[in-house]
Structure 1
């Protein structure tokens, strides 16, 4: 893969994601399925979901790589997008792998994620991570990413 552009801030992460999904040829009701770590990835998934809320797709969250635990992502008035308690069958047209899955100490292996992705042949695969996590964990060669968005949180300043 080659660097397409370098952006900044939260819009720099959200705009290319939305542009990619707009150009992906998705039909109404097609699924965008996010695989990520409960707690840490979930807020970013809801943020990404909010950015594409006007697209006619169904959005689904899968904790780690456990599709049996999949949940719908729905708009909540005055709040944004949130993972709901409603289970849903997983049939992705686009898989979004969150970088938290590649972090050390996470209870899922790269091979387990590869296995789940492999059950959906022909599906587009998007990777969204922070601080070069897919590169550091050796995931760049393990998945056939159609798009990678790698955001950097630097510096992080704390005032007191």
Structure 2
């Protein structure tokens, strides 16, 4: 896949994601509970004017709405996971999670059933989708791939 944009930091991830969601009214995030949930909420913040849903562990029936609350973005009531865009989060591809890319492709297709504007977006860190070869199984329209540099400072 060719690189179409580069940026830095959390703002770069959020701005890139928001631009990819132009024209999409409903977005469903699919990821692991705990690890991916905060990333869905973070990404959801920049598109909070849309309908947002989170599907934990590929379990379509356990989909929950994501909405803005006084405390920030929160998972809410059960929701219909069908949407115009599906965002697969990189935590699913981590080897210790054990999710097969074929199963993720199936849930992405289920989310997009009946949608005319079908977008499949991947959001990962450290090239997780490429390392685990998910990009060879899933026809992503776009992948947002970020790197993390960590420094622990002591004063």
Structure-2-length-normalised TM-score: 0.91
Q: Distance in 2 between matches of 1:67 and 1:82?
A: 18
Q: Partner residue of 1:99?
A: 90
Superposition deviation, residue 141 in structure 1: 1.5
Do the aligned partners of 2:18 and 2:46 also contact (CA within 8 Å) in 1?
Answer: yes
Structure 2 residues without counterparts, runs of 5 or longer:
none
Q: Partner residue of 2:39?
A: 44
Q: Does 1:113 align with 2:108?
A: no
For residues 11-50 of structure 1, the aligned pairs below 5 Å read: 11-22=11-22, 25-26=23-24, 30-50=25-45
Q: Partner residue of 1:138?
A: 133
Q: Distance in 2 between matches of 1:10 and 1:73?
A: 20
Q: Does 1:72 align with 2:65?
A: yes
Give the 3-state SS of the residue equivalent to 2:4 in structure 1.
coil
Q: Distance in 2 between matches of 1:50 and 1:117?
A: 22
Q: What RMSD over aligned residues (CA atoms) do the two structures have, in Å? A: 1.4
Question: 1:108-143, CA deviations, whole angstroms, 9 ceiling, x for partnerless residues?
Answer: 321211121233356210000001000111011111
Q: Distance in 2 between matches of 1:110 and 1:34?
A: 15
Q: Distance in 2 between matches of 1:9 and 1:117?
A: 27
Give the 3-state SS of the residue equivalent to 2:30 in structure 1.
strand
Q: Distance in 2 between matches of 1:108 and 1:151?
A: 21
Question: 1:47-78, CA deviations, whole angstroms, 9 ceiling, x for partnerless residues?
Answer: 0011111x3x210000011111000001011x
Structure 1 residues without counterparts, runs of 5 or longer:
none
Q: Partner residue of 1:129?
A: 124
Superposition deviation, residue 38 in structure 1: 0.4
Q: Distance in 1 between matches of 2:142 and 2:102?
A: 20
Q: Distance in 1 between matches of 2:32 and 2:98?
A: 9
Q: Distance in 1 between matches of 2:20 and 2:102?
A: 26
